[in-house]
A and B are shown apart, each in its own frame.
Chain A
């Protein structure tokens, strides 16, 4: 922002080249992720399983069952989760005009998590089936509502005369994250032993809950958010000038902000309801995309979704491989990757915060 970054006229990838590269990256990560795990699968076995499923035949043998019922839904959930988080990060960064805005840092994720925590513990007394179906429509709706509420609160807190202030946003996010943490702590205190295990496992972030039934709810939500987000791309570009100048250039700023918040909360809510807290994907993916292709949101939004998808699929494969046959919590792994990136970016922005 305030000072020159990189070379003054460095080459950037064209939108087409960036799209191709992003798709290639996702395809390679899916290929890599599909074979790895406690149960190793060869390419032939996976193709056979897909072929049999395409013909409508029941899975035959362990490789088929592992691939169709465990590995494939897990890969797809990972891709969707990463896409939702990457997109949401890019949207929030455009909205706050700052590359440091991450759904995990500004309260979107923790709002969704608190709502799901309330659902898992208090809601479970009302609907006993709830905790066994992570990614069920009720939890997705709860997470969406919680994410929406916390994002709106962060926006209100960050609002100062003449636009949003980054420092206020980050501090507001800290306060809201602390509030959500306290709420989730209270839920752990109130929870039964079984609820406690559900809650803790889910909070650390994991794709272990991947089932076809969960995908049926997450996929439409994430894809809808991507569609909504793409419609906001040009407006977010103009918003880089500031809220006042954007309004003078013909952007309906309030409506743009509202839509960006809703799309972001929709994606993060749906993802969080299934996978728990997976942080920093929304920070890393858009950052990488901007470095290669520049800041145009027409490219940044879809490419961030693709990079986020590839990132989560790869991180999940690593989480399964590193401590085989057990697995590391995904959220722990992404935090170890993302926190240093965040600190590095913070250091580069120290002049303007």
Chain B
């Protein structure tokens, strides 16, 4: 269980109107939606423990993030940042192996197996020996995703929950890989009981692949906008809410049993 209690999120230097009290459960894909400047990336930074909250706290399995040892936390929570530069000329395989740092006390052959396993699962086996800095933007994003998955590949022996936090995972990907990656993440999160929390901009991808959504609204003075609405994505994302939060008109259509939004 990943939760935040009375958490004050800064969005563009200003705090959101209300502190957030939210919880996420493992085994599902949960997206964070909202316009630019709503505080999505800030929230993700707080959930990962990279930034410390000014008010409130984030807990993982009931313990505040500050109480976790870095390596133990890393075995249960992995993140993919938006901008994934790698200094020096590592191969793609070596970059994925960096995700195994928190498992470095396990035997070496097992580490190599894990890296190969993760790369095969994500369809990256052909890139193994390639230099990371010679890859395309989309390939780099997928290698970073594999690195993060490698970090939390095994369930912890004490039964703790695992979390994958993604900041716009589809931004650098082409159409086919957007769907492929999100479909894989959804299946993996269900099969492995990993909680995926992803900041996403494409509402139709969210409707297709996510289970739940959290909608953060821009702070508009004088307007009572409910902040931090959480719920099943297909119930939450109505044309009315889209107009309220993004100010864009759209209509909902069913497509093969999946609701999609038509804009314009």
A residues near B, CB below 8 A?
Answer: 1-6, 8-10, 97-99, 234-235, 237-238, 240-242, 244-245, 247-252, 290, 294-296
* Closest CB pairs A-B (n = 9): A250-B74, A250-B102, A295-B88, A97-B87, A4-B134, A8-B134, A250-B71, A240-B87, A248-B79
Partner of A9, one of B84, B99, B130: B130
State how many angstroms separate the Cβ of A201 from the closest Cβ of chain B.
38
- Shortest A241–chain B CB gap in Å is 6
Contact with A along B134-177 (1 / 0, CB 8 A): 10000000000000000100000000000000000000000000
Taking CB atoms, residues of chain A closer than 8 Å to B88 are: 1, 97, 99, 240, 290, 295
Are B101 and A1 in contact (CB-based, < 8 A)?
Answer: no
With contact pairs A1-B85, A240-B90, A241-B84 given, residues A252 and B98 touching in the complex (Cβ less than 8 Å): no
Asked if residues B131 and A8 are in contact (CB atoms below 8 Å), the reply is yes
- Flag if B131 contacts A4 (CB, 8 Å): yes
B87 touches A98 (CB 8 A): yes
Q: Within residues 67 to 119 of chain B, which ones have a CB less than 8 A from any CB in chain A? A: 70-71, 73-75, 77-79, 81, 84-91, 94-95, 98-99, 101-102, 104
A249-B130 contact in complex given A240-B86, A294-B90, C-beta closer than 8 Å: no
B189 interface residue, CB < 8 Å from A?
A: no
B133 contacts which chain A residues (CB < 8 A)?
1-5
Q: In this complex, which of A5, A238, A244 has the most chain B Cβ atoms within 10 angstroms of its Cβ?
A: A238
Determine the main DSSP class of B at the interface with A: mixed
Count of B interface residues, CB-CB < 8 Å: 33
Is B129 interfacial (CB 8 A cutoff)? yes
Task: Please give 4 more A-B residue pairs, beta carbons under 8 A apart, in addition to A237-B101, A248-B78.
Answer: A6-B131, A241-B84, A248-B79, A290-B88
Is A249 touching B102 in the complex (CB atoms < 8 A)?
yes
Q: Is B253 an interface residue, CB under 8 A from the partner?
A: no
Contacts A4-B131, A5-B131, A8-B134 known; A249 to B89 CB distance under 8 Å?
Answer: no
Contacts of A8 on B, CB cut-off 8 Å?
130-131, 134
> Does B86 contact A241, Cβ atoms closer than 8 Å?
yes
CB distance from B199 to the nearest CB of A (A): 15
User: From residue A50, how far is it (CB to closest CB) to chain B in Å?
Assistant: 40
Q: Is B219 an interface residue (CB 8 A)?
A: no
Other-chain contact of B94, A9, A97, A242, A296 (Cβ < 8 Å): A296
What's the Cα separation between A150 and B108 when bound, in Å?
38
CB-CB under 8 A from A240, the residues of chain B are 86-88, 90, 98
Establish whether residues A248 and B48, one from each chain, have CB atoms under 8 Å apart when the complex forms: yes
Query: Is there an interface contact between B134 and A247, defined as CB atoms closer than 8 Å?
Result: no
Chain B residues near A238: list those with CB within 8 A: 98, 101
